[in-house]
Each structure stands twice: as structure tokens, then as C-alpha cells.
Structure 1
Amino acid sequence: MNLFKIAVPSALIALMLSSPAMAQPDHAPAHGARDKRHHQGQASGRESRSYDDRSARNYQDAPPRIEEQLLKRLLREYGAPRAESLPPGIERNLARGKPLPPGIAKRFDGPIANELPRYPGYEWQRVGSDVVLIDAATRVVVDILVDALR
């Protein structure tokens, strides 16, 4: 009886460990990866939508960039308000391609707002002592001019 209690569980464990069902094939997706076979023939929601509205904008292949010399000259001429740098924690979150942190941006007002270069679909914002160009629809930072308002 004692031999039976040891032999049966040992055999079951050996059977489970050697089972092909327990082995993961080399081509298996990584943990958490989506199985592409499930989505074959179906475009994902993002692929089926048209996010490429660049043809309506005034540029060809890339989003607009800040023309530093022009912008600095405009800020000087129109007396843009001076500002302090951002706190380090917020400053780390302000980067190209990332959404603008909520509640820290201010719009330009007065005559300088009318003189800044216009790009359809984009807005100029003041964030601390930085000037940023953001995509108006997504609030994603396109370009940054660091310490322009110091």
C-alpha cells in the first residue's frame, strides 16, 4: 500500500511533465501577446480608420516644426510674458510625441497670438518657460522650444 501511494503520484507527475501539451512550441506568442491568427482577415479598428489627414494640412511628409529664429524674434518683438521653468517632475513629462500634461498649458493672447505661424490642426501653447506646438485634436506635443520665455 505504501508503494502504491508513492508510485501512482510519481507516475502522474512524470506523465504531466513529459506531456506535449505542457510544452510550448517555439513559434508560440510571448506571454500577453495577441494571437494574430485570431485577427486574420480583419483590420483592427485603428487600421480601418483614416488617421492620415496630412493631405489637408500645409506640409507633405512630416508635421510642422518650430522655426526657432523666427519664433524667438516674434517673442522678443511682441513682449511675450516671461515665465519660470517647470518643476522637474512635470518637465520630464513634457516631450515630443507625448500628450501634453493636463492643466499646465496656457494659450498665447494679444498681438503675439496673431503673429505666430499658423498650421491648420495645430496650436501654440506656453508651458512654463517653454513654447510648444501641439496637435489640437490629440493634444500631443509636436515640437518644443525650451526656455524661450525666460
Structure 2
Amino acid sequence: MNLVDPNIVSNFVEWKDANKDNFTWWSYVNIKSDIQGALAFANFFCPEIITKDNCILLKDHFDQKNYDDWKERLNGDKTQIEKIMNLYEIQDFFHINSDTNDPFYNEQIKALAKSIQFYWSLTLQHNHPDKNIIVSVFEEYDTLCITVYEGLE
């Protein structure tokens, strides 16, 4: 299973072309990152959730004031609170270091969304087998978004 088409990662392709038959994704990660970055990505792709008033919320994205505001606005609707509190625009995960002029930028955002959805779903299902946690990727106002919520059974 290949989540990412290597052709949309121009730098990887350049390195692979320069190192025929001797360059892999492992090689690329070794050049582009370090152990601290790898550990950060391990946690990024395996999120933790917290529970507030029976709502499941992404721990690293949680803000108490924001939660209180949405809880009041949405009249305590658990599913809607989860959907809005866990909502994140995919492009914002790496907006500081992204080249939006890259000809493959949109494909990269889609591949990232697919990868996040895959790993978050596996992690949340593994860590919370008693819950029907849904990781949803969708487009809103021409922007790819992700959210997490507990589906009703």
C-alpha cells in the first residue's frame, strides 16, 4: 500500500534520480529529518483524545474557552461540538514551511489528508475500540479539512 505518490514530492524524485537504484523513502527521511522530528511525527499521526462532557476532543487542538463557546452556541449538541472543535484545515498543519507555488501542492495536500485520515483512524480505533470514532476529510470553501467525531450506532 502506497499512501503517497512519489512523483508529487519533487525533492524526493530529484534525489532518487541522482542515486539510481539506491534511494528509498528511508533514505529521504534520513536526509530531510532527524530523530526529534520523527518522534514528533509519530505523535502527530497517533493523536490522543480527551473527554469533556462525553465529547471526544483532540488533545493537541483543545482550547477550553473555545470549547465553552461552542458548547453554548450549539446547545450542547455533542456531535456538532466534536465536529467543530476537532476541525482543522489540512494546509494549516504545515503552512509555515510549505511551498504553495509547487505545481504538486494541491496533490500534496490531498495525500497528506489521506495519510492523516488513515493513521488517525487506525490509532483512534486501536486506542478506543469501544467507540465509533469517525475521521472525516471533506472540502469546504475550496479548502480540504479534517475532523474527528463519535458516530452514533
TM class, shorter-length: under 0.3
Query: RCO (CA 8 Å, sep 6+): is it higher in 1 or 2?
Result: 2
Q: Which of structures 1 and 2 has the bigger CA Rg?
A: 1
User: Normalising by the residue count of structure 1, what TM-score does the alignment of the two structures yield?
Assistant: 0.25
Determine which structure has the larger helix proportion and give its number.
2
User: Normalising by the residue count of structure 2, what TM-score does the alignment of the two structures yield?
Assistant: 0.25
Determine which structure has the larger strand proportion and give its number.
2
